[in-house]
Structure 1
Amino acid sequence: MAQTAAHADTQQHPIKLYLVVWGWLFILSTCSYLVDYFNLEGTLRYSLILLFMMLKAGLIVAVFMHLAWERLALSYTILVPVGAVLVFVGIMAYEADYTFLTRLEFFAPGP
C-alpha cells in the first residue's frame, strides 16, 4: 500500500516529450554528419561541430537527466563551473595565440 502511494506522488513526463527530444537529437546528429559530408573546413567546421555537440549535450542533460525540473540552485551548481571552464579555455586560447605571435617576432631571424 505504501509503495503504491509513493508511485502516485512521483511526476510522470509524457512520452511525447522524450520522442520530440529523440527527434531533435537525430536531427542534430544528422547536421553533424552533413558538416563532414559537405567537406566544410577550418573554423566553420569546428564551430558547427561544437555547436551541434553542445546542443545535443544540453538536451540530454535537460531532459534525460531531469535538470530542467530541478531547483535553480542545483542547475547553477552544475552549469556555472562548466561555463567558467569554457571561459578560461577561451582566455587560454587567446593567450596562446598572443604568446605564439610574440615568440615569432622575438625569435625571427634578423635582417
Structure 2
Amino acid sequence: MEGQIQPHVHAAVAPAAAHAKGQQHPIKLYLVVWAWLFVLSTCSYLVDYFGLHGSLRWSLILLFMVLKAGLIVAVFMHMAWERLALAYAILLPPVLVLVFVAIMVLESEYTHLLRVLFFATPS
C-alpha cells in the first residue's frame, strides 16, 4: 500500500505535473485568432477604401484596433489564462487612461469657451 498513490492524491498531482511541463493550446485556437485578425485588418482597410470621414472613420478605426489588440493580448500573450489579479494589473490602467481621456474630451469645449471669454482681445 505504501508504494501506490492513492486515487485522490493522483488526481491532485496530475494537473500540477501537466502545469509544470507547460500548457499546450490547440493550434485551431491560434488559426481562428489569426483569421479574426485578418478579418479585422481587412475591415480597417475598407474604412479607408470606402472613403469614410470624420468621427465615423476614427471610431471604426479605433474599434478595430482595440479588438485586434484585445485578441492579441488575450490569446498570444496568454492573458485569457492568467490569474484575475494579474489581468487587472495589466488591463485596468489602460482602461482608466481611456476613461480620463473621455473626461478630458467632454470638458474640452468648456475649457475652450472659458479661454475664448477671458483671453479674447477687447474690441
Query: Given the two structures, how large is their TM-score scaled by the length of structure 2?
Result: 0.78
Aligned pairs for 1:1-111 (under 5 A) are: 9-106=21-118, 107=120
| CA RMSD between the two structures | 2.0
Letter in 2 for 1:63: V
Q: Report the 3-state secondary structure (helix = DSSP H, G, I; strand = E; otherwise coil) of the residue aligned with 1:60.
A: helix
Could you tell me which runs of 5 or more consecutive residues in structure 1 were left unpaired when the two chains were aligned.
none
- Supply the distance in 2 between the matched residues of 1:100 and 1:77 (Cα, whole angstroms): 35
Note closer, same or farther for the CA distance 1:11–1:81 as it changes in structure 2 (3 Å cut).
same
Shift of 1:97: 2.0
- Supply the distance in 1 between the matched residues of 2:79 and 2:97 (Cα, whole angstroms): 20
Paired-residue identity, %: 74
Query: Given the two structures, how large is their TM-score scaled by the length of structure 1?
Result: 0.85
The CA deviation string for residues 41-93 of structure 1, in whole angstroms up to 9 with x for no partner, is: 11000000000000000000000000000001100111111111111111112
